[in-house]
Amino acid sequence: MNTTASLQTPEVTKKLLPIILATSIFMQMLDSTILNTSLPAIAKDLKESPLNMQNAIISYVLTLAVFMPVSGFLSDKFGTKKVFIFSLILFSAGSLFCSLSQNLTELVVARMIQGLGGSLMTPVGKLALIRTFQKHELLKAMNFAIIPALIGPVLGPLVGGYMVDYLSWHWIFLINIPIGALGIVLSLKYMPDYKSPIIDFDLKGFLIFAAASLLLSIALELFGNTVHVTPVLLVLLLGFLMLYYYYRHASRDDNPIFPLDLFKVRTFRVGILGNLATRLGISAIPLLLPMMIQIAYGRSAVTSGWIVAPMAITAMFGKSAVIGILDRFGYRATLMTNTFIIGFLICSMAIPAVSASIYWYMPIIALLGFFNSIQFTAMNTISIADLRQYQTSSGNSLVSVNQQLALGFGVAFGLLVLKFFQGDVKLIHDEIHNAFRYTFLVVGSLTILSGAIFRRLHFKDGDNMKSEEGH
């Protein structure tokens, strides 16, 4: 493996690689959220009940969670360039098939093709980035590539709402094709091709871990949609049993897909756990707020999209501020303080009454976008800060799987808390808006508590990631 790649990489590649990765993250994040506002229109066209349309979302998320672990092995064996281009082709083809779907079954199959492309696209792109840039340059590069991850979930409902109203639902999938084509053209010329003298593939470990991801994802989806808790808890328990089975397997195997020695790296351990815990609250908000504006305030999907839109603009400012903040305060202080601020802002969404103007939420959302941006960049970079070269493939794949599951956990958790309060008519005085307010308080309080995880960091952790100007 070429450990000095960052010294030999042409400057033009270093400039364009974050853009290539940004296009893939943007497509994936847009696609994860754009469908939400469009489901009723697609259901009507395909002559299905909107409630059955959940399958179109679930099939995509499950495919991502199951196949992400294999991304590190494939890029080590076939090279980052080939695998990345193949993933873009798969994702674009899946998007085209989605737009041509004549019934729900065809749409679900097309979404799985998209998910297969998406499961390789982002982790492989990130891996190329990690191997191209030296540690002190990586924060800046990752920071740039991550903007679409913040803009996608905000633009998704807005773009989806407009496209369904003024064009047709087919366009929410067709929009990916020119973006995918741009990514392919840039990748052919500028994507570096890193391989590793990898030996064998841990098929047994992959199958066990995939089964665990699948069971946990299914349990999450069921939690949000079912009245019977017993079968859901059974599926959840099976998922955790599979994780334990994987732990037993990895401790005996010579070359497991996710080596347990990754967790001996303290910054990786804290990064993974912190990512999972803090995203519980953060991921629920882009779903809960537009839902509240539509249900409790009776406004349109486009209006709710516009209320959430400032999040994307302030995320840009957060992105430009984060390097200076980390250079000055370090990762430990930044992450602990930032998590507290995010939790406090989520709690403050419970303040406006139903009689208040919906525009009260805009400054809160704007601030949230700024601090979310800092949180994502800091968490993602501290997770890989101290990994050795031979650990980057598996470590990076695991970070991606963890993020995907955390996103699912967050959405399911938010819906679960909302349903709980919605069912307690006395507590909410038969006013749906109050159910949302209590949900924000619970989700925000848990986010504040999750900040304690970052106390495990040492104040010097992440110093090797700081930009040279910050030294």
The model's confidence at residue 468, banded by pLDDT at 50, 70 and 90, is very low
The model's confidence at residue 470, banded by pLDDT at 50, 70 and 90, is very low
For 175, the token pair is 């929009």
The model's confidence at residue 54, banded by pLDDT at 50, 70 and 90, is low
Q: Is the pLDDT of residue 441 over 90?
A: yes
Q: Is the pLDDT of residue 53 over 80?
A: no
Type of residue found at 49: S
For 465, the token pair is 């990631």
Q: Tell me whether domains 1-199 and 261-471 share a fold.
A: yes
For 359-368, the CB contacts below 8 A with 24+ separation are 359/307, 361/289, 361/293, 361/307, 362/307, 362/310, 365/289, 365/307, 365/308, 365/310, 365/311, 366/310, 366/311, 366/313, 366/314, 367/314, 368/285, 368/311, 368/314, 368/342
Torsion angle, alpha carbons of 191, 192, 196, 201, to 10: 0
Residue-wise over 132-171: b if at least 16 C-beta within 10 A, else e? bbebbbbbbbbbbbbbbbbbbbbbbbbbbbbbbeeeebbb
Q: Is the pLDDT of residue 265 over 50?
A: yes
Q: What is the pLDDT of residues 343-379, one digit of tens each?
A: 999 999 888 877 778 888 888 988 998 998 889 888 8
Q: Is the pLDDT of residue 237 over 80?
A: yes
Most confident listed range (120-124, 149-153, 163-167)? 120-124
List Cβ neighbours of 155 (8 Å cut-off, separation of 6 or more): 30, 309, 312
Query: Measured on CA atoms in the order 45, 49, 51, 56, is the torsion positive or negative?
Result: negative
Q: Give the pLDDT confidence score for residue 347 in this predicted structure.
A: 93
Q: Is the pLDDT of residue 91 over 60?
A: yes
Q: Is the pLDDT of residue 230 over 80?
A: no
Lowest mean pLDDT among 151-160, 254-263, 286-295: 151-160
Q: Is the pLDDT of residue 202 over 50?
A: yes
CATH class, 261-471 region? mainly alpha
Most confident listed range (209-213, 339-343, 392-396, 466-470)? 339-343
Distance CA 411, CA 293 (A): 17
Give the mean pLDDT of the chain: 79
Q: Is the pLDDT of residue 162 over 80?
A: no
List Cβ neighbours of 294 (8 Å cut-off, separation of 6 or more): 300, 301, 304
User: What percent of the chain is modeled with pLDDT above 90?
Assistant: 9
Type of residue found at 415: L
Distance CA 247, CA 263 (A): 11
Q: What is the pLDDT of residues 176-185, one digit of tens each?
A: 888 888 888 8
Q: Where are the domains of the chain?
A: 1-199, 202-256, 261-471
Q: Is the pLDDT of residue 260 over 50?
A: yes
Q: Is the pLDDT of residue 341 over 80?
A: yes
Alpha carbon distances (Å) from 120 to 18, 81, 432: 16, 12, 41
User: What percent of the chain is modeled with pLDDT above 70?
Assistant: 83
Q: Is the pLDDT of residue 148 over 80?
A: no
Q: Give the pLDDT confidence score for residue 4 in this predicted structure.
A: 39
Cβ atoms 382, 271 nearer than 8 A: yes
How far from chain centre, in Å, is Cα 392? 19
Cβ atoms 119, 66 nearer than 8 A: yes
Q: Give the pLDDT confidence score for residue 469 in this predicted structure.
A: 37
Q: If we measure between CA atoms, which residue out of 244, 266, 214 comes closest to residue 69?
A: 214
What does the pLDDT average to over 232-257? 86
- Ramachandran angles phi, psi of 352, nearest 5°: -60, 130
Count the alpha carbons within 13 Å of 301 in the hemisphere toward its beta carbon.
Answer: 20
Distance CA 183, CA 346 (A): 36
Q: Is the pLDDT of residue 139 over 60?
A: yes
Q: Is the pLDDT of residue 398 over 70?
A: yes
CATH class, 1-199 region? mainly alpha
Cβ atoms 29, 153 nearer than 8 A: yes
Lowest mean pLDDT among 54-58, 98-102, 465-469: 465-469
Q: Is the pLDDT of residue 455 over 80?
A: yes
List Cβ neighbours of 354 (8 Å cut-off, separation of 6 or more): 296, 297, 431, 433
